[in-house]
């Protein structure tokens, strides 16, 4: 009997029976058809075609153009124009490419702009990349980090690039991408957005917001698997002018001409670098099949319903035990909710031991993601009840739950 839930597609995912998965904001689950797709590529293409797979793999489309084909599929989920997105590398590497390209454009057009502006809610890897890129490039470039609520007022004439993550990885707080991009442009700055917690969680409209650059990963809401390839976007109006600091043969205009000097490919293809990792790209390509025919506006509406349902039940059952760390207004957050608890790590380990998988972020946040393709209202209710029992009975107060694993 079909589900009454308008977006629930749990049958497409290989999730263990009885487990409630609230951590797709960190690693999406395995779509059922991905292993068979990988088997075919490994056994039938790599195994039998061998090097001919670069031209004949992927059902005759060739392995070599997977970054562009994947980019086109992801682009449709993030409101990008045709041929403006390529897949590959990690989010961190793509941050370096996007930011270095933006700074090089500004060096030519507005050399007096020397500040990269970001906020303290940004994911640390983005800040590390910006900090070290400014150091390596010199020229007086600097990274300025302000509180999230101070970003708009900090955009002044000295800002070369605004670099933000749309949805805060810790609390789910959401920036207004269109408004902040417009403000950056008014000040002559370029806007770079990290969509790691946005792509696949909610509608994104890069073209409508006139975003300059964007990056994101393939392993969270896109369900591409651990360490799945990331993606990078460059606005078409800029793409033929950009010169990122990281270049390689796959970003060359003629990779197999083997010319000694770099000559960038046209458009976003110049953002490609090295040989694409075909097996992980195929896994992501297969995973994206679950998005065919899905209305992202409906996904967004349902994720808000589920997260509000969870917050209401948790606060009713756990009064005084937890503090909501996410914005109270659901429209001001992404598809995740976080609570504070002084023993947050142990609380989460106790939940995981009972089959409710969320995660922990230091120093005291327990974090829950609401991905309605595979999460039902009944599971949300059950998770809230298990959390309440865990706190009431102090099930977290066990030495086993305090032992910190390397990955938290």
Diameter of the chain by CA atoms?
68
CA-wise closest residue to 391 among 345, 349, 347: 347
69 three-state secondary structure: helix
Which residues, 6+ apart, have CB-to-CB distance to 216 below 8 Å?
Answer: 74, 78, 91, 194, 195, 196, 198, 199, 230, 231
254 three-state secondary structure: coil
- CA 138 from centre of chain: 29
Please report the pLDDT score of residue 3 as a whole number. 53
> Does residue 327 contact residue 355 with C-beta atoms inside 8 Å?
no
What predicted TM-score, i.e. pTM, was given to this entire model? 0.97
Question: Please, where are the H alpha helices in 61-161?
Answer: 66-77, 91-109, 124-137, 151-154
In this structure, what are the phi and psi dihedrals at residue 28, rounded to the nearest 5 degrees?
-70, 155
> Does residue 211 contact residue 193 with C-beta atoms inside 8 Å?
yes
Dist. CA 186–CA 180, nearest whole Å: 10
129 three-state secondary structure: helix
Please report the pLDDT score of residue 1 as a whole number. 38
Per-residue pLDDT of the chain (408 residues; tens, 9 = 90+): 345 788 999 999 999 999 999 999 999 999 999 999 999 999 999 999 999 999 999 999 999 999 999 999 999 999 999 999 999 999 999 999 999 999 999 999 999 999 999 999 999 999 999 999 999 999 999 999 999 999 999 999 999 999 999 999 999 999 999 999 999 999 999 999 999 999 999 999 999 999 999 999 999 999 999 999 999 999 999 999 999 999 999 999 999 999 999 999 999 999 999 999 999 999 999 999 999 999 999 999 999 999 999 999 999 999 999 999 999 999 999 999 999 999 999 999 999 999 999 999 999 999 999 999 999 999 999 999 999 999 999 999 999 999 999 998
Give the residue numbers annotated as catalytic, written as ranges. Answer: 123, 194, 219-220, 367
Dist. CA 162–CA 152, nearest whole Å: 10
CA-wise closest residue to 23 among 327, 308, 324, 226: 226
Please report the pLDDT score of residue 6 as a whole number. 85
Whether omega before 72 lies within 30 degrees of 0, making that bond cis, reads no
Dist. CA 238–CA 223, nearest whole Å: 30
134 three-state secondary structure: helix
Q: Write down the residue that tokens 């390839």 correspond to.
A: 229
Which residues, 6+ apart, have CB-to-CB distance to 360 below 8 Å?
Answer: 344, 345, 348, 366, 367, 408
DSSP string of 135-199, one letter each residue: HHH-TT-EEEEE-GGGHHHH--TTEEEEEEESB-TTT-BB--HHHHHHHHHHTT-EEEEE-TTTB
């Amino acid at each position: 009997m079909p589900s009454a839930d308008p977006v629930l597609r749990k049958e497409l995912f290989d999730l263990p029976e009885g487990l409630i998965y609230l951590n797709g904001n960190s690693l999406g689950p395995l779509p059922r058809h991905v292993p068979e797709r990988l088997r075919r590529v490994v056994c039938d293409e790599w195994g039998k075609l061998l090097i001919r797979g670069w031209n004949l793999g992927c059902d005759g489309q060739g392995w070599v153009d997977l970054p562009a084909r994947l980019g086109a599929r992801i682009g449709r989920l993030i409101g990008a124009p045709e041929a403006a997105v390529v897949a590959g590398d990690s989010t961190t590497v793509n941050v370096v490419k996007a930011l270095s390209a933006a700074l090089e454009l500004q060096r030519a057009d507005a050399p007096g702009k020397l500040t990269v502006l970001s906020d303290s809610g940004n994911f640390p890897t983005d800040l590390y990349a910006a900090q070290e890129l400014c150091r390596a490039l010199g020229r007086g470039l600097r990274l300025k980090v302000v509180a999230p609520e101070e970003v708009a007022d900090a955009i002044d004439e000295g800002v070369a690039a605004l670099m933000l993550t749309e949805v805060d990885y810790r609390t789910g707080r959401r920036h207004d991408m269109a408004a902040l991009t417009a403000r950056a442009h008014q000040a002559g700055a370029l806007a770079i957005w990290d969509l790691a917690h946005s792509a696949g969680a909610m509608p994104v409209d890069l073209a409508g917001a006139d975003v300059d650059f964007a990056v994101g990963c393939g392993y969270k809401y896109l369900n591409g698997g651990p360490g799945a390839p990331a993606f990078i976007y460059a606005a078409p109006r800029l793409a033929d002018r950009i010169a990122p600091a990281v270049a390689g043969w796959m970003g060359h205009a003629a990779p197999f001409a083997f010319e000694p000097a770099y000559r960038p490919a046209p458009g976003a293809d110049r953002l490609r670098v090295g040989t694409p990792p075909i097996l992980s790209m195929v896994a992501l390509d297969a995973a994206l099949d679950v998005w065919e025919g899905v209305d992202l506006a409906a996904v967004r509406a349902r994720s808000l319903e589920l997260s509000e349902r969870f917050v209401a039940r948790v606060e009713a059952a756990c009064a005084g035990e937890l503090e909501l760390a996410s914005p109270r207004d659901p429209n001001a957050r992404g598809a995740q909710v976080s609570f504070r608890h002084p023993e947050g790590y142990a609380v989460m380990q106790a939940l995981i031991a009972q089959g409710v998988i969320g995660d922990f972020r230091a120093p005291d946040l327990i974090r829950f993601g609401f991905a309605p393709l595979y999460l039902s209202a009944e599971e949300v209710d059950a998770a809230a009840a298990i959390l309440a029992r865990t706190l009431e009975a102090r099930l977290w107060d066990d030495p086993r739950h305090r032992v910190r694993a390397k990955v938290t």
